[in-house]
Amino acid sequence: MIITEKYSQLAPEVKSILSRLVEEEFGHVAFVQERVWAQPDWVLIQYDNEEIATFCHIVVREVSMDGTTYTVAGLNNVITPKTHRGKGYASEVVREAGKFALQELKCSYGLLLCADALLPFYNRLGWYSVEGGELYYSQPSGEQRYDSNSMLLPLTGQPNFHPIHINLNGLPW
């Protein structure tokens, strides 16, 4: 069962578990530790026998792409604890996040930042790489350029769009 809830309304104990899982997954990654990240607006959680089997966060943001502003669902922290991996939960949660972003949040695109190893996973779920463009985000020290993979998911039936310039207009997710 997948639960979708506003992050701000999560029970403190659930937030604590999610924070611990994020730390376990990304606590050793210097890039993650050296940046300030956006607080999620939404969380989707897949449960298995009352345990969190997979979750992801969504940040809703007005993002600039090639000079046009789009409402975007920023997907991040797609995490499956080791004991639940290999069961398809992450695929289910990512698919559900796309549906939620279109139907409930009325977003034009999903947008995520990811490591090389995850590109095939997201490609299988309909996401495509934005290659050759530049992506910028905010940090307390000023605007920074992201030098790794960004991916888009078209949510409203439009063809794949390959923007040259993306600005997240805020903290990254």
pTM of model > 0.85: yes
The DSSP code sequence of 98-150 is HHHHHHTT--SEEEEEE-GGGHHHHHHTT-EE--S-EEEEEETTEEEEE-SEE
Query: Which superfamily does 2-167 belong to?
Result: Gcn5-related N-acetyltransferase (GNAT) (3.40.630.30)
The span from the CA of 113 to the CA of 76, in Å, is 8
Location of structure tokens 């940040």: 59
pLDDT value at residue 71: 98
- How is the chain split into domains, by residue range? 2-167
Mean pLDDT for the stretch of residues 112-131:
96
Q: Per-residue pLDDT for 66 more than 90?
A: yes
pLDDT of 138-164, one tens digit each?
999 999 999 999 999 999 888 899 999
Mean pLDDT for the stretch of residues 45-65:
98
Structure-model confidence comparison of residues 171 and 131, the more confident one: 171
pLDDT of 69-107, one tens digit each?
999 999 999 999 999 999 999 999 999 999 999 999 999
